[in-house]
């Protein structure tokens, strides 16, 4: 797919990986609609990107947004859906564990209500995470949700063909989700990535490059690309 002249919708498109993907698509000549629960946090955006507000868990609002924006060719979601539970499973707040799956429900809504408004050669890319296949201590909820996302992609891709559905799985990425700054931030990321083959945090742009590959390569569907610095092998 040549992104130039195509219309793209990017959920979670005002921060981190979603924002990086929106900017890269706009640079390729796509008309990009960045969607967020809080679009005011986006700041100044380059030409080619417009903003809309929507919660991926609000099915009625999602259906209306897709109808208003139709038709479109590219659909990306990096929206987290909300908070995520961390810590050992046997002491975990089970409501927190259940709430972590808001990411999955948000992605399900994106695919369910967005697909019918896409072009026949359209493409969808979701974002899971390395804990889906190698879960570190305290990441039971994150790993469970990521695994469910990847399973959904494999199950749904055959149903929506010839439209394509893929997922990118990032490792430890330096994004605004971590509030620490300066030396404290550097120390945290150094500790979390010390055992990786590439001992540093990745960037949102590096993950977005994999998303763009999924968009442009017409021979890829139902699969996962890892952008994890060697997380799975470390």
Contacts of 160 (CB under 8 A, 6+ apart): 111, 115, 124
Nearest to 71 by CA among 120, 26, 3: 120
pLDDT tens sequence across 140-165: 999 999 999 999 999 999 999 999 99
Q: Judge whether 201 and 174 are in contact, CB under 8 Å.
A: yes
CA distance 16 to 204: 6
Provide the 10 A C-beta neighbour count for residue 190.
Answer: 12
Contacts of 230 (CB under 8 A, 6+ apart): 171, 196, 197, 198
From CA 209, how far away is CA 122, in angstroms rounded? Answer: 18
pTM confidence score: 0.93
| Each residue's pLDDT tens digit, 169-178 | 999 998 876 7
Residue extents of the structural domains in the chain:
7-175+204-227
Which of 21, 61, 56 has its CA nearest to residue 36? 56
* Residue of 131, 138, 156, 148 lying closest to 75 (CA atoms): 156
- pLDDT score recorded for residue 159: 98
Which architecture does CATH list for 7-175+204-227? 3-Layer(aba) Sandwich (3.40)
Q: What is the dihedral of CA 188, 92, 204, 42, to 10 degrees?
A: -110
For residue 224, name the pLDDT band (cuts at 50, 70, 90).
Answer: very high
Q: Give pLDDT tens digits for 13-58.
A: 999 999 999 999 999 999 999 999 987 777 788 889 999 999 999 9
Place of tokens 């997380």: 231
pLDDT tens by residue, 57-108: 999 999 999 999 999 999 999 998 778 899 999 999 999 999 999 999 999 9
d(C-alpha 51, C-alpha 10), whole Å: 10
Closest CA to 214 of 225, 203, 205: 225
């Amino acid at each position: 797919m040549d992104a130039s002249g195509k219309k793209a919708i990017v959920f979670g498109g005002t921060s981190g990986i979603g924002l990086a993907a929106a900017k890269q698509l706009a640079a390729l000549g796509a008309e990009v609609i960045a969607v967020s629960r809080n679009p005011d946090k986006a700041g100044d955006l380059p030409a080619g990107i417009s903003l809309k507000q929507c919660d991926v868990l609000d099915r009625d609002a999602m259906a209306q947004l897709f109808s208003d924006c139709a038709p479109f060719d590219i659909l990306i979601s990096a929206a987290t859906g909300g908070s995520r539970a961390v810590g050992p499973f046997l002491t975990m707040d089970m409501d927190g564990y259940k709430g972590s799956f808001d990411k999955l429900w948000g992605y399900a809504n994106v695919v369910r209500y967005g697909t019918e408004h896409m072009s026949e050669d359209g493409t969808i890319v979701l974002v899971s995470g390395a804990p889906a296949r190698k879960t570190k201590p305290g990441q039971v909820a994150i790993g469970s949700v990521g695994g469910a996302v990847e399973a959904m992609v494999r199950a749904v891709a055959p149903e929506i063909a010839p439209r394509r559905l893929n997922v990118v799985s990032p490792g430890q990425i330096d994004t605004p989700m971590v509030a620490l700054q300066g030396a404290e931030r550097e120390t945290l990321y150094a500790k979390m990535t010390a055992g990786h083959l590439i001992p540093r945090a990745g960037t949102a742009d590096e993950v977005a490059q994999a998303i763009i590959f999924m968009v442009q390569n017409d021979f890829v569907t139902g699969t996962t690309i890892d952008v994890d610095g060697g997380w799975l092998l470390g």
